[in-house]
């Protein structure tokens, strides 16, 4: 994102009278509004009396995004930290999407097995191995 966006975000956040907790609650409210629009757009049971468009969903997504970014700023986040974290999270998301196909082949998935044992007084050891 460009500097003018961040400058305005930081300016508006500094003028906002809500503290960190109130901003967090506002985020929950905005999330609820987004949920209402998505449910109506998808014609889910119980909300067919409502009407929503993709424009309504976009608007609520932006509201959620702005409040979330403002919350980060109120928590002390800097422009550089926002940029770095956004980049890191985008890269992580990209890696997850790139690796989704590999999840179908169990041989390519690293895994661990954790076991809990109850000691009964006698210890017998047998080694089990599995070649993939």
Name, in order, each residue with C-beta under 8 angstroms of 63's C-beta and a sequence gap of 6 or more.
Answer: 30, 33, 34
Cα–Cα distance, 62 to 9 (Å, whole number): 13
Residue 107's pLDDT is: 60
pLDDT 10s digits, 66-90: 999 999 999 999 999 999 999 999 9
Question: Which 3-state string (H, E, C) describes the chain?
Answer: CCHHHHHHHHHHHHHCCCCHHHHHHHHHHHHHHHHHHHHHHCCCCCCCCCCCCHHHHHHHHHHHHHHHHHHHHHCCCCHHHHHHHHHHHHHHHHHHHHHHHHHHCHHHCCCCCCCCCCCCCCCCCCCCCCCC
Residue among 47, 85, 91, 46 nearest 68 (CA): 85
Residue 97's pLDDT is: 83
Residue 65, in any domain of the structure: yes
Quote the domain boundaries for residue 101: 3-108
Residue 64, in any domain of the structure: yes
Residue 95's pLDDT is: 87
Residue 57, in any domain of the structure: yes
pTM: 0.70
Residue 40, in any domain of the structure: yes
Cβ 70 vs Cβ 19: under 8 Å: no
Q: Residue 81's CB: how many other CB atoms inside 10 A?
A: 13
Residue 130's pLDDT is: 57
Residue 102's pLDDT is: 59
Residue 129, in any domain of the structure: no
Residue 32's pLDDT is: 96
Residue 115, in any domain of the structure: no
């Amino acid at each position: 994102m460009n500097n003018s966006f961040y400058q305005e975000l930081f300016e508006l956040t500094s003028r906002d009278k809500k503290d960190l907790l109130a901003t967090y609650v506002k985020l929950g409210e905005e999330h609820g509004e987004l949920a209402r629009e998505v449910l109506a757009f998808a014609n889910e049971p119980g909300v067919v009396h409502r009407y929503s468009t993709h424009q309504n969903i976009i608007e609520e997504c932006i509201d959620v995004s702005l409040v979330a970014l403002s919350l980060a700023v109120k928590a002390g986040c800097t422009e550089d930290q926002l940029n770095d974290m956004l980049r890191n999270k985008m890269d992580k998301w990209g890696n997850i999407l790139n690796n989704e196909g590999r999840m179908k082949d169990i041989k390519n998935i690293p895994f661990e097995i954790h076991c809990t044992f109850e000691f009964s007084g006698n210890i017998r050891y047998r080694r089990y191995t599995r070649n993939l």
